[in-house]
Amino acid sequence: MQAQAREKMNDNAVLKQLMTMVQDYYGSRRDGKFLEYKSPLELAQILHLDKSTEPGDWHEIFRWLEKYLAYSIKSDHPFFVNRMWSGANLPSIVGEIITAVSNTSACTYESAPVSTLMEKYMIDQMLDLVGFTDGEGQMTTGSSNANMIAMMAARNTSISSAKHSGLFGQQQLFAFVGGNAHYSMDKAANITGIGIDHLIKVPHGIRGEMEMDDLKRAMDQVLADGGVPFFVAATAGTTVRGSYDSIEQLLELRDRYHFWLHVDGAWGGAVVVSEKLRKRYLNGLEHADSFTCDFHKMFGSSLMCNILLINRGNQLFDRVLAAGDGSYLFRDEHDSEVDDLGAVSLQCGRRVDSLKWFLDWKFFGREGFCRRIEGYLELCEYAEKLVDGSEVLEMVAPRTSFNVCFRFKFAEEEVNNFNLAIRTRLYQQGTCLVGIAYIESDLCMRLLVTDPAAAREDIYAFFQSLIETGRIIQQEWER
Ligand SMILES: *Cc1c(COP(=O)(O)O)cnc(C)c1O
């Protein structure tokens, strides 16, 4: 009865209300608390997910949308420093909205003509930027999948019959990553049939970079046992410490061992836009076999947005990846001019991720992104100085790039629990969310700057509120 009494909303009214809601949210996304924290039980009561609705009741739909925004984290808030992404660039948000209203799959030119050309344009831009002269690429669902596709391409290149006959009865393949590599490598080893035990984690030095002597020893051992070292992934910016494995040294080893060299630049690959930082962190990248970078991290495109580039000739994807029924989806009408991107993708339906990235690229330009990334590094240097200059804070590992791993000083036996308590209090108060990680057995807070609007004042204020909360908890604990 009640629902009937309400006026029905037509599509225009819905869209108008939506845009107002979007505007209000966007205007206040950096204000107040970053989160109105509720426990899962409290939140479940508020959301009332099993409430029944009358069909067509937009008012209820909007109530849920209001609650969604009210109780979600504001990822663009200056004190949301928890993750490798934060609030997205406005051009990419605009692109996402257009992507949503025009809903299509970027698998064929037929179903996605504009996005196909945009994706190819961006792939060419990135191949150029990275310096892959013999390359091709595809947008994937993220670096986890890009890492897996790279491993699969390497596997099928190493054992060319693997695509059709699998790995049965073959020489055993071994992949190598640094001990700090991303966990997606384990998943990739599992999915590609290499096996997690065949993913060798190479020890790292004090700065977190893979030790070449250890890598060499491990490869010699594999060879002595009759195995094949087929794949090495350099991490360009590890998740916790932000370490960069030396691409140059790995290239030297590749000459000798002939593996596929992949560079996982999900996080730190963004420095490719800065000549200065590229020289410092990615020297030799143009000679690697593959490279992935997440645009949804430092570049600030909205989630998900990734590219995988391969430097092994432009039919490689076709040879190692393409499979399946070409009868209903992929046909040849446009073939002479443009290939369907879906044919070499692991997905069938592909979300249009190219529009937002294209718009961001055109709006900010390489120069704009270069300034942004270099600016982030300066803010991280500033953050490190604040930690070093503070009486109560200390660095847990030396900063090598963008990641600032620090903690509040406390008695040895309790220092981990104490820092965990600070972090939880800050989160539940809605003050800030900072990442945590373990370095060896030491818990550290990991400050990441991925917000284009971030300024020194924000970093300063972040540490102030953290120190303030730390001191309060310190008093409570010492009582
Ligand atoms: C974030 C990250 C990944 C995973 O990327 P997704 O896009 O989240 O799948 C892989 N490797 C590194 C080094 C990362 O930082």
For residue 134, tell me if it sits in a domain. yes
- Which pLDDT score, from 0 to 100, does residue 98 have? 97
* C-alpha of residue 182 to centroid of ligand 1, in Å: 7
- Which pLDDT score, from 0 to 100, does residue 327 have? 64
- Which pLDDT score, from 0 to 100, does residue 1 have? 43
Element (H, E) at 368: helix 354-389
Bond preceding residue 304 cis, omega within 30 of 0: yes
Strands 80-81 and 136-140: unpaired
Share of residues in the chain with pLDDT > 70 (%): 96
Atom of ligand 1 nearest to the CA of 235: 13
The reply to whether 151 and 51 lie within a common domain is no
- Which pLDDT score, from 0 to 100, does residue 134 have? 86
| Residue 147: domain span | 97-360
Tokens describing residue 242: 């932000």
* C-alpha of residue 181 to centroid of ligand 1, in Å: 10
- Which pLDDT score, from 0 to 100, does residue 3 have? 46
Neighbours of 35 (CB within 10 A): 20
- Which pLDDT score, from 0 to 100, does residue 326 have? 66
Inter-CA distances, 130 with 135, 284, 309, Å: 10, 10, 9
The reply to whether 255 and 335 lie within a common domain is yes
- Which pLDDT score, from 0 to 100, does residue 85 have? 86
For residue 83, tell me if it sits in a domain. no
* C-alpha of residue 366 to centroid of ligand 1, in Å: 22
The reply to whether 377 and 271 lie within a common domain is no
For residue 392, tell me if it sits in a domain. yes
396 close to 43: Cβ distance less than 8 angstroms:
no
The reply to whether 154 and 301 lie within a common domain is yes
Residue nearest to atom 7 of ligand 1 (CA): 142
For residue 88, tell me if it sits in a domain. no
Q: What is the CATH number of the domain that holds 297?
A: 3.40.640.10
What letter would DSSP give residue 209?
A: P
The reply to whether 288 and 334 lie within a common domain is yes
Q: Which of 309, 344, 360 is the last residue of a domain?
A: 360
What is the model's pTM?
0.95
* C-alpha of residue 308 to centroid of ligand 1, in Å: 12
Atom of ligand 1 nearest to the CA of 182: 11
The reply to whether 372 and 344 lie within a common domain is no
Query: What average pLDDT does the structure give for the chain?
Result: 93
CA dihedral for 398, 402, 404, 405, sign (positive or negative) = negative
For residue 285, tell me if it sits in a domain. yes
- Which pLDDT score, from 0 to 100, does residue 83 have? 84
Q: Which of 83, 85, 143 to mutate to test the pocket of ligand 1 (most atoms within 8 A of CB)?
A: 143
- Quickly tell me which residue has 């930690």 as its tokens: 387
Q: Which of 360, 379, 398 is the last residue of a domain?
A: 360
Q: Which amino acid is at 372?
A: R
- Which pLDDT score, from 0 to 100, does residue 338 have? 80
Q: Which of 267, 299, 301 to mutate to test the pocket of ligand 1 (most atoms within 8 A of CB)?
A: 267
Residue partners of 142: CB distance under 8 A and separation at least 6 = 266, 294, 296, 304, 306
Q: Which of 46, 76, 106 is the last residue of a domain?
A: 76
For residue 90, tell me if it sits in a domain. no
Q: Which of 264, 304, 401, 446 to mutate to test the pocket of ligand 1 (most atoms within 8 A of CB)?
A: 264
The reply to whether 271 and 308 lie within a common domain is yes
- Which pLDDT score, from 0 to 100, does residue 336 have? 64
Q: Which residue numbers in the chain have pLDDT < 50?
A: 1, 3
| Phi, psi torsion values for 360, nearest 5 degrees | -60, -45
* C-alpha of residue 235 to centroid of ligand 1, in Å: 10
| CA dihedral of 336, 339, 343, 345, whole degrees rounded to 10 | 160
Atom of ligand 1 nearest to the CA of 297: 1
Q: Which of 82, 184, 238, 245 to mutate to test the pocket of ligand 1 (most atoms within 8 A of CB)?
A: 184
Element (H, E) at 395: strand 393-395
The reply to whether 137 and 251 lie within a common domain is yes
The reply to whether 175 and 266 lie within a common domain is yes
For residue 132, tell me if it sits in a domain. yes
Separation CA 79–CA 96 (nearest Å)? 25
Q: What is the CATH number of the domain that holds 405?
A: 3.90.1150.10
Could you tell me which of 207, 267, 257, 206 has the C-alpha nearest to residue 232?
A: 257
Residue nearest to atom 5 of ligand 1 (CA): 143
The reply to whether 333 and 464 lie within a common domain is no
The reply to whether 398 and 276 lie within a common domain is no
Atom of ligand 1 nearest to the CA of 181: 13
Q: Which of 82, 199, 239, 448 to mutate to test the pocket of ligand 1 (most atoms within 8 A of CB)?
A: 239
Atom of ligand 1 nearest to the CA of 296: 7
Residue nearest to atom 14 of ligand 1 (CA): 266
Exposure string for 342-359, b = 16+ CB within 10 A, e = fewer: bbbbbeeebbbbbbbbbb
Atom of ligand 1 nearest to the CA of 147: 10
302 close to 296: Cβ distance less than 8 angstroms:
yes
**Residues with C-beta less than 6 Å from any ligand 1 atom:** 84, 142-144, 182, 184, 235, 239, 264, 266-267, 294, 306
* C-alpha of residue 238 to centroid of ligand 1, in Å: 9
85 close to 297: Cβ distance less than 8 angstroms:
yes
For residue 301, tell me if it sits in a domain. yes
* C-alpha of residue 306 to centroid of ligand 1, in Å: 10
* C-alpha of residue 346 to centroid of ligand 1, in Å: 18
* C-alpha of residue 89 to centroid of ligand 1, in Å: 19
Provide the number of structural domains found in the chain: 3
68 close to 17: Cβ distance less than 8 angstroms:
no
CA–chain centroid gap for 262, Å, is 16
The reply to whether 394 and 351 lie within a common domain is no
DSSP string, 57-119: -HHHHHHHHHHHHHHS--TTSTTEESSS--SPPHHHHHHHHHHHHT---TT-TTT-HHHHHHH
CA–chain centroid gap for 112, Å, is 25
